[in-house]
Structure 1
């Protein structure tokens, strides 16, 4: 659906980090025509300052379904 504003485990604000994370992943996908490696994803998280694994989990595991759900309104 929509990315939660805060991490469910620790309460850190993650919504702004999610947007920046998606931008960086899209840059890699568009420029190099491939998915980012785990090392590149770790570097993106480190650059954003996302250190806790609970926050990383929230961002990595999020699936944006709002476009599919809005059809049922």
Structure 2
């Protein structure tokens, strides 16, 4: 799932901060500190960042595996 543009609860604009958040957390920074630095104060908005999971790459990988399985199993 792609990161939402707005918080589901309060409607605040948060989508423009996702890439920087992701980059900084992957670099080893503490997620809470990154959210503070980005100005994300409401707990509903913080939840959107902390609970988001990018599964799109997994879906593509599984689709490829299933396609190969169909090809070799004759279905």
Q: TM-score, normalised by structure 1?
A: 0.74
Task: Please give the root-mean-square deviation of Cα atoms over the aligned residues, in Å.
Answer: 1.6
Q: Which has the higher contact order (CA 8 A, sep 6+)?
A: 1
Gaps of 5+ in 1: 29-35
Q: TM-score, normalised by structure 2?
A: 0.72
Gaps of 5+ in 2: 65-75
Spell out structure 1 runs of 4+ moving beyond 3 A.
none
In our comparison, the structure showing a higher alpha carbon Rg is: 2
Residue number in structure 2 paired with 1:67: 57
Count of aligned positions: 62
**C-alpha deviations, 1:2-45, integer Å up to 9, x for none?**
111110000011112111111111111xxxxxxx5xxx322111
